[in-house]
Amino acid sequence: MTILVTGGAGYIGSHAVRQLRAEGRDVVVLDSLERGDRDALLGAPFVQGDISDSSLVAEVCREHGVDSVIHFAAYKSVGESMTDPAKYWRNNVQGTVDLLEGMLAADVRRIVFSSSAAVYGNPDSLPIREDAPLRTENVYAETKAVMERVIHWYGQTHGVRWASLRYFNAAGASSDGVLGENWDMSTNLLPLVMKAALGASGPVKVFGDDYPTPDGTGVRDYIHVEDLAIAHSKAIEHLDAGRESITLNLGTGRGVSVMEIIRATENTLGRAVPYQVVDRRLGDPATVYADSRLANSVLDWRAKKGLLEIVDSLIRRYNEHREQHESTES
């Protein structure tokens, strides 16, 4: 049977598609290409369209023999969600309802959902467990929390079985440099650090150096995108085996500070990373990292790659991209 991957032409989605195909699974991708890249699919079966088109979802599911869905399709910019919240409610929340309705029309009742640790907000204690209170601090995070609830209630009312994967800070690129984040669009820290180091931008902004952390900068749990891709595959296996619906954290269980990232990049590249300390951002917690023991036991999964592997993969991706660009120009 086939897995439908929504948003599969995006950063994390494309890595998941590649992982599934490497395992010999049949995949079809549904993506609007508004923020995705068809080239990132590496030839995977593809349908251009929107998850809000329930009829199209049902048609794709029937035509390709879909029995499970991995749902990545969502807007994810915190800042944009606060200036244009309606866009996020419509795409993320209503789009998920429409997707589920399309699935049901084709009798597809298994879904792995790409959620986010942003649902936890400022945690009371560390590491963060799945039973921690949800304290969303922006519209993006709230849409992720609501999407989880929507999927849960479709489970209660229509027998949909699901896995909601709350992952922490996705980072890195494919080990061979073929796939990676679009640095032109990304607001994530590691691409910004890499761009600053390579002279492709101005100094990277460090939001606060007076936190109660060892070096004063914010600490987060950075998880390699290939580890995330494997976790999504294992979540499909979990549902395929008829096991219960579940919510899981995906992280390394270790926090890394902004300055640790800058220093690791400097050491790897052998050059300085220009940076500028600016005021803290409102609502940013000092330290966030995951308790992923439940995913370790339920999925037999754990993150295997750390900060050095993330930095190395980003450099490899940059070099691969540069060589392709130079080859095209010549």
Chain-centroid distance of CA 156 in Å reads 26
Active site residue 140: yes
Structure tokens of 180?
């990676």
C-alpha span between 180 and 39 (Å, rounded): 11
C-alpha span between 266 and 263 (Å, rounded): 5
Catalytic pick from 140, 211, 222, 289?
A: 140
Strand partners, 319: none
C-alpha span between 112 and 110 (Å, rounded): 7
Rg (CA), the chain: 19
- Residue 151: which residues within 8 A CB-CB, separation 6 or more? 96, 100, 111, 113, 160, 162, 164
Q: Are 233 and 16 in contact (CB under 8 A)?
A: yes
209 CB burial (10 A radius; 0-12, 13-18, 19+): middle
Q: Would you name the residues annotated as active-site residues?
A: 140
